[in-house]
Amino acid sequence: MKQGIVVRSTGSWYEVRLESGDVIPCRMVGKFRLQDKPVTNPVAVGDKVEVEMVDGEDTAMIKSIGDRDNYVIRQSPRKKHYLHILAANIDQAMLVITIASPKLKQGFIDRFLLMTEPYDIPVHIVFNKSDLYNTEDFLTFEYLEEVYHKIGYQVHLVSSVTGEGLDNIRHILKDNLTLIAGQSGVGKSTFINKLQPELALRVGDISDYTGKGQHTTTFAEMFELKGGGQIIDTPGIKTLSFNHFETMDIAHNFKEIFAEATNCKFDDCYHREEPKCAVKAAIEAGEISELRYFNYLQLLDEVEGQNYWERKKDY
- pLDDT at residue 19 above 70? yes
pLDDT reported for residue 40: 85
pLDDT reported for residue 206: 41
- pLDDT at residue 217 above 70? no
For range 280-287, the mean pLDDT: 97
Give the lowest-confidence range in 27-36, 106-115, 121-130, 280-289: 27-36
pLDDT reported for residue 218: 62
For range 262-275, the mean pLDDT: 94
pLDDT reported for residue 143: 97
Model confidence pTM above 0.95: no
Kindly report the three-state secondary structure assignment for every residue of the chain.
CEEEEEEEECCCCEEEEECCCCEEEEEECCCCEECCEEECCCCCCCCEEEEEECCCCCCEEEEEECCCCCEEEEECCCCCCCEEEEEECCCEEEEEEECCCCCCCCHHHHHHHHHHHHHCCCEEEEEECHHHCCHHHHHHHHHHHHHHHHCCCEEEECCCCCCCCHHHHHHHHCCCEEEEEEECCCCHHHHHHHHCHHHCCCCCCECCCCCCECCCCCCCEEEECCCCCEEEECCCECCCCCCCCCHHHHHHCCHHHHHHHCCCCCCCCCCCCCCCCHHHHHHHCCCCCHHHHHHHHHHHHHHHHHHHHHHHHHC
Q: Which domains does the chain have, with CATH numbers?
A: 2-67 (2.40.50.140), 72-233 (3.40.50.300), 247-314 (1.10.40.50)
pLDDT reported for residue 6: 97
pLDDT reported for residue 208: 33
Compare 59 and 241 and report the one with higher pLDDT.
59
pLDDT digits (tens, 9 = 90+) for 178-212: 999 999 889 999 999 999 999 888 665 443 333 34
pLDDT reported for residue 282: 97
- pLDDT at residue 222 above 50? yes
- pLDDT band at residue 307 under the 50/70/90 scheme: low
- pLDDT band at residue 129 under the 50/70/90 scheme: very high
- pLDDT at residue 215 above 70? no
For all residues of the chain together, what is the average pLDDT? 89
For range 258-285, the mean pLDDT: 96
pLDDT reported for residue 202: 67
- pLDDT band at residue 216 under the 50/70/90 scheme: very low
pLDDT digits (tens, 9 = 90+) for 56-95: 888 999 999 999 999 999 888 788 788 889 999 999 999 9
pLDDT reported for residue 213: 38
For range 38-46, the mean pLDDT: 90
